[in-house]
Amino acid sequence: MGRRKKKPYLVEGVDIVDTATKGWGIGKKDGQVIFVEHTVPGDKVDVWVNSKVKKVPKGCVQTMLAPSPDRIEPRCDHFDYCGGCKWQRLSYGKQLYFKEKQVTDAVTRIGHLDVEESFPRRPFQFPIQG
């Protein structure tokens, strides 16, 4: 006999507080962590949980209750289908912030090193098209 597969369930009112690798949002509800795809920090959503990874629930957005003020419309027409870039839902400044935060967290957690200061950033300019 195999393991019994759990049925999907709904978690209401999840606050997305951070980002995980591959652009997933990290949501929290009553102290429980939930990975939610297609979300950005600041979103408040109802989540349809359909699987678990290492005992952490993973799901997708059932209802967007309140979008984040940092959420923007992706620039690429193929964003929802391609899967190549997961950060286009965030404003560019927030993309830089969360990418830097992930690197700093990894160096601190895995490398057991203290990161004292971050690298200075220059303003980004999109290439001129024409």
Domain ranges of the chain: 9-109
How far apart, in Å, are the Cα atoms of 49 and each of 7, 13, 29, 89, 128?
9, 13, 13, 21, 43
pLDDT-based confidence at residue 81 (cuts at 50, 70, 90): confident
Which ranges constitute the DSSP H helices of 7-119?
79-82, 92-109
When pLDDT is cut at 50, 70 and 90, the band that residue 11 belongs to is: very high
How far is it, in rounded angstroms, from Cα 11 to Cα 4? 21
The CATH class that applies to domain 9-109 reads mainly beta
d(CA 94, CA 41): 9
pLDDT digit string, tens, across residues 34-78: 999 989 999 999 999 998 888 889 999 999 999 999 999 888 888
* DSSP assigned state of 87: -
- The residue-averaged pLDDT of 80-92 equals 81
Could you tell me the two tokens for 22? 């591959």
